[in-house]
Amino acid sequence: MNKEGGLSHKLHGLDHLRAFAIIFVFFFHYGRLFPHPEWTNTISKFGWTGVDLFFVLSGYLIASQLFRKIVQQQKISLKEFFIKRFFRIIPAYLVVVALYFLLPFTHEREALAPLWKYLTFTQNISLNIQTQGTFSHAWSLCIEEQFYFFLPLILLMLVYFKSIKKGFWILIALFLFGFFIRYYTYRHFFTPVADESWLNWYKWIYYPTWTRLDGLLVGVSVAALLEFKPVFSGKILNYGNLLFVIGLIIFTITYFVCTNEESLIASVLGFPLIAIGYGFIVLSALSPKCFLYKYESNTTTKIAALSYGIYLIHKIVIHVTQNQFSKLNIHNDSNSMFLICIATVFIISLLLNEIIEKPFLKLRKKILSRKKIEVNKASGIVIS
C-alpha cells in the first residue's frame, strides 16, 4: 500500500494526468500573460481546464484516504490529517508568498492582493485581477485549502451521527447547488454590468469557491464509488479504455460548449461537464485495463512530483526569465525564449522541491512516526 493511501501502482496513471494538468496550465498562462510563439495559441486556449483536473485529482486523493479509514472502521484523526496537509502545502507556498512580497521585480502583473488574504486562503473571494493580477493563480490553492479544512469535519459529523450514507445526498445537493448559484450569480451580478464584463465574469463566476466545487465533488464521488462500492466499481474498472474514451468525448463536447467562456451556457454547464469528463478519465487511470494505468514513465512521474512547485513559481520564473534573456536579443515571443522558460521553470521547481518540499516531507514523516509510537504506547502496544 502507498503511504498516502491506495495501491502504489495505481499512481502511474494519476501521474500521467497530473503531468498533463500542469503542462496544460503552463501553456494557458504562458499564452495569456506573456509574449509567446503563435503556434501555442491553439493549445493554450483550453488550458485553464488543467486546474479542474487538479481539482478532480485532489478530491479523489484526499477523500479516498478518509473514506478508507471509515471503511476500515478506523478513527479519522484531524491532527494527523492537518499535519499531512500542512507540511505538504504550506512551506513551499509561504516561500513563494515571501518572494512576491519581498521582491517586487518578481511581479508578473500590477499588484498583489493583501497579504492576509494569502495567509488565510481567501484571496479567491472578490478577486479583481485588473488590480490584483500578480499571483492570481493562488485562487485554486485557496479553494483546495478550504476543501481540505471542511471535508474531514463533515465526515466526522456524519460518522458521529451514523449518517455516512447520507453523504451521498450531500454530494448531489452541492453539485446541483453549483448550477443554481452560477445561474443566479450570472443573472444578478454579471449580466447587469456592461463595462469590464470579462473582469466581472472572473470575479463572480470563475474564482469564487461556491461556483467552482464541481471538480472536487466529482473527485470525492470517484473516491466514494471505489471505497464504498468495491464490487460495483470493480465491474466498472474492467472497462478502463472505454471510460477514457467517454471522458474524452465529454471533454470534446465541453470544448464547443465553452467556445465563449463568458456565455450563460458555458458559465452554468461548462464547469460540471469538464469535471465529469475528467472524472471519467481519472477513473480510467485507476483501471488495470487502461493504457494509462499500465504505462509507466519516468518523465511524467518527475513532472508530477514537481507539479505543485511548477504551479507555484511558473509565472515568477517566466516573467523574470523573459526580462533577463530579452537583454541578450532573444525575442520574448520566439521559440527559443519559450524553451528557455520551460528549462528555467523546471530548474527552479526542482530546487524548490529539493530545498523546501522534500525536507519538510521528511520532517512530516518523523512527526507522524513519533505520534504513532505515542499512540501505541498509550494502547499498551510494544514495538521492538
Contact criterion met (CB below 8 Å) for 272 and 179? yes
**pTM for this model (two decimals):** 0.93
pLDDT of residue 44: 86
CA angle 21, 49, 259 (to 5 degrees): 145
Q: What is the mean pLDDT of the chain?
A: 92
Q: Render pLDDT for 30-63 as a digit per residue (tens, 0 to 9).
A: 999 999 999 998 888 899 999 999 999 999 999 9
Question: In degrees rounded to 5, what are phi and psi of residue 137?
Answer: -70, -5
320-368 tens-digit pLDDT:
999 999 999 999 999 999 999 999 999 999 999 999 999 999 999 999 9
Question: Is 211 in contact with 182 (CB distance < 8 Å)?
Answer: yes
Render pLDDT for 279-302 as a digit per residue (tens, 0 to 9): 999 999 999 999 999 999 999 999
Q: Which of 145, 125, 118 is nearest to 211 (CA)?
A: 125
Rg (CA), the chain: 21
Q: Which sign, positive or negative, has the C-alpha torsion 13, 16, 18, 21?
A: negative
Looking at residue 1, what is its pLDDT? 32
pLDDT tens digits, 262-271: 999 999 999 9
Q: Please tell me the predicted confidence (pLDDT) of residue 193.
A: 67
Scanning the structure block, which residue is given the C-alpha cell 478518509?
Answer: 66
Which of 111-120, 192-201, 254-263, 269-278 is least confident? Answer: 192-201
Query: Which H, E and C letters describe the chain, residue by residue?
Result: CCCCCCCHHHHHHHHHHHHHHHHHHHHHHHHHHCCCCHHHHHHHCCCCHHHHHHHHHHHHHHHHHHHHHHHCCCCCCHHHHHHHHHHHHHHHHHHHHHHHHHCHHHCCCCCCCCHHHHHCCCCCCCCCCCCCCCCCCHHHHHHHHHHHHHHHHHHHHHHHCCCHHHHHHHHHHHHHHHHHHHHHHHHHHHCCCCCCHHHHHHHHHHCCHHHCCHHHHHHHHHHHHHHHCHHHHHHHHHHHHHHHHHHHHHHHHHHHHCCCCCCHHHHHHHHHHHHHHHHHHHHHHCCCCCHHHHCCCHHHHHHHHHHHHHHHHHHHHHHHHHHHHHHHCCCCCCHHHHHHHHHHHHHHHHHHHHHHHHHHHHHHHHHHHHHHHHHHHHCCCCCC
Model pLDDT, residue 196: 60
As a whole-number percent, the residues of the chain with pLDDT over 70 amount to: 93
Give CA–CA dist 91/84, Å, rounded: 12
